Structure 1
Amino acid sequence: MTGHPPAPPPEPASEDFPGRTAPHCTGLDELDAAVSRCCACPRLVAWREQVAGTRRAAFAAWEYWGRPVPGFGPADASLAVVGLAPAAHGGNRTGRMFTGDDSGAVLFAALHAVGLASQPMSTHRGDGLVLHGVRVTAPVHCAPPQNRPTPGERNTCRPWLARELSLLTGLRAVVVLGGFGWQALLPVLDAAGYRLPRPRPVFGHGAHVVLPGAGDRPELHLLGCYHPSRRNVFTRRLTFPMLVDVLGRAAGVSGLGPR
């Protein structure tokens, strides 16, 4: 026999685990399982496990997820909602994106108001919540200290988001919650072949950019929305009607329409 033996599969703790694993995932279930095993960012691994071990008093009886949190929503979604990262005592506790924290309470209530969620609350996996035509995800899948991933952590995690969006073959629109998600998403779209305007579009609440189709993909609507963080909601920088308005417009251009 000639040639070299195949390279061994990457270890979950290796920095190149996302980059070598994500492109070979053939479906969202396979991708989600791979995401949940990732240990590529030592700082994030240490933090998520520390939080899961110490817990918050209000959740002392919980068995924390304490791993990377995969996206949530159906494979035929035509709309994606991209946030920042799981919350330490939200997704890092429950194991589902935007579930169990204040931001998620606002987001899922708004999705329900638009007709894209079966119920207005998301408290834990197995609570019966079903999303209609929308998938919720983030550019960083581990809870970061002080909700601030580093640029390096964002870049290491990027292949997961790139593959997730590529597997959503009917994707028509993306709502980006906050400037971090916006900046993380643009290189993903660029690499996927979408022609980004020059200069690159700037994030802002209500921003709406239409990207021409790439290959066999239709045009993509990119919409900006302030993140439904506790601070933004408390200061009324983002109100519930503002969030519902953006999600409603996204549903319209995604072909979902009112439900």
Structure 2
Amino acid sequence: MTAADVPRTAADVVRAAGTAPDLETLDARVVDCFACPRLVAWREAVAAAPRASFRGQTYWARPVPGFGDPHARVQVVGLAPAAHGANRTGRMFTGDRSGDFLFAAMHRVGMANQPTSVSADDGLTLTDVRVTAPVRCAPPANAPTPEERRTCGPWLAREIEVVAARVLVVLGGFGWQAVLTTLSEQGWDVPRPRPAFAHGAEVVLRRRAGAGAADGRALTLLGCFHVSQQNTFTRRLTPEMLDAVLLRARALADG
């Protein structure tokens, strides 16, 4: 991508995402995005003032692309990269406690070759699953604005089209609402009133007629409590609960 092609506005993101012919091109364009000034400033400020435990490390400090099997039938969708997690390592859910919990579960159910995820070059590979997010840059206070989520939405929409997964496991209520909004804006029929988030909630969506090459395609959303420390330390989300959701996602994909 030339300097002139780097996405710097919402319109640039629509063009760059919509014309990406494959996943490799899409991921490369995501990494070069500068469309949200507040998020660009924050991701770089965090990198300039790392936590003491990460001092001396070079932070990624760029948008984070999805990671995993390019032909996955299941996609796990969070909300945004963690400031000292994926914003540091450059890989979704890598380098923080949330990722420790998530990838350990994937390993238990046969979706990952190892239970840990500490760096982008640690040898982790995923089978039949890909992790992603509706917002690709770490936001202040873990809270992207509606405008930032809307600007970033075309990246997720194109990734869903290219990967062609059958199930989205959506982590947490904030992520659930962000995904429903993004899918609605990108051509999917979302019921009104919107389906409420719940752990284990299942919703089947279809592409609206005329929305694109995937017209009529079905996609199942499966809700799961977020793998945040707040949920895992209090056992609101247990390993057994997360395993059950991942196994259910695989069963739905098989069905």
Normalising by structure 2, what TM-score? Answer: 0.91
CA contact (8 A) 2:77 2:134 kept: yes
Partners of 1:165 and 1:239 in 2: how far apart? 28
Question: Which residue pairs with 1:93 in the alignment?
Answer: 88
CA contact (8 A) 1:68 1:142 kept: yes
CA contact (8 A) 1:211 1:219 kept: yes
- Which AA in structure 2 matches 1:249? R
Cα deviation per residue 1:86-120 (whole Å; 9 max; x = unaligned)?
00110000000000001000000111111111111
Question: Which residue pairs with 1:224 in the alignment?
Answer: 223
Structural RMSD (CA) = 1.9
Question: Which residue pairs with 1:235 in the alignment?
Answer: 234
Cα deviation per residue 1:108-155 (whole Å; 9 max; x = unaligned)?
011111111111101111111110011100010001111111111111
Cα deviation per residue 1:38-94 (whole Å; 9 max; x = unaligned)?
111111111100111111111112111010000001221110100010001100000
- Which AA in structure 2 matches 1:181? G
Cα deviation per residue 1:206-257 (whole Å; 9 max; x = unaligned)?
111233577566532210011110111112211111111111100111129x
- Which AA in structure 2 matches 1:120? P
Matches within 5 A, 1:95-244: 95-169=90-164, 171-191=165-185, 193-212=187-206, 218-244=217-243
CA contact (8 A) 1:17 1:38 kept: no
- Which AA in structure 2 matches 1:241? E
- Among 7, 32, 38, the residue aligned to 1:12: 7
Equivalent residue of 1:31, what SS?
helix
The CA deviation at 1:19 is: 1.4
Question: Which residue pairs with 2:75 in the alignment?
Answer: 80
CA contact (8 A) 1:10 1:16 kept: no
- Which AA in structure 1 matches 2:123? G
Partners of 2:121 and 2:66 in 1: how far apart? 15
- Which AA in structure 2 matches 1:227? H
The CA deviation at 1:10 is: 4.8
Equivalent residue of 1:221, what SS?
strand
Identity among equivalent positions (%) equals 58
Question: Which residue pairs with 1:4 in the alignment?
Answer: none
Partners of 2:117 and 2:245 in 1: how far apart? 20
The CA deviation at 1:15 is: 3.6
- Which AA in structure 2 matches 1:41? C
Equivalent residue of 1:251, what SS?
helix
Equivalent residue of 2:189, what SS?
coil
Between structure 1 and structure 2, the one with the greater Rg is 1
- Among 56, 61, 69, the residue aligned to 1:61: 56
Partners of 1:254 and 1:119 in 2: how far apart? 22
Q: Alpha carbons of 1:65 and 1:159: their partners in 2 closer, same or farther (altered >3 Å)? A: same
Gaps of 5+ in 2: 209-213
Partners of 1:193 and 1:21 in 2: how far apart? 17
Gaps of 5+ in 1: 1-7
How many residues are treated as equivalent by the alignment? 248
Larger mean CA deviation between 173-182 and 13-22 belongs to 13-22
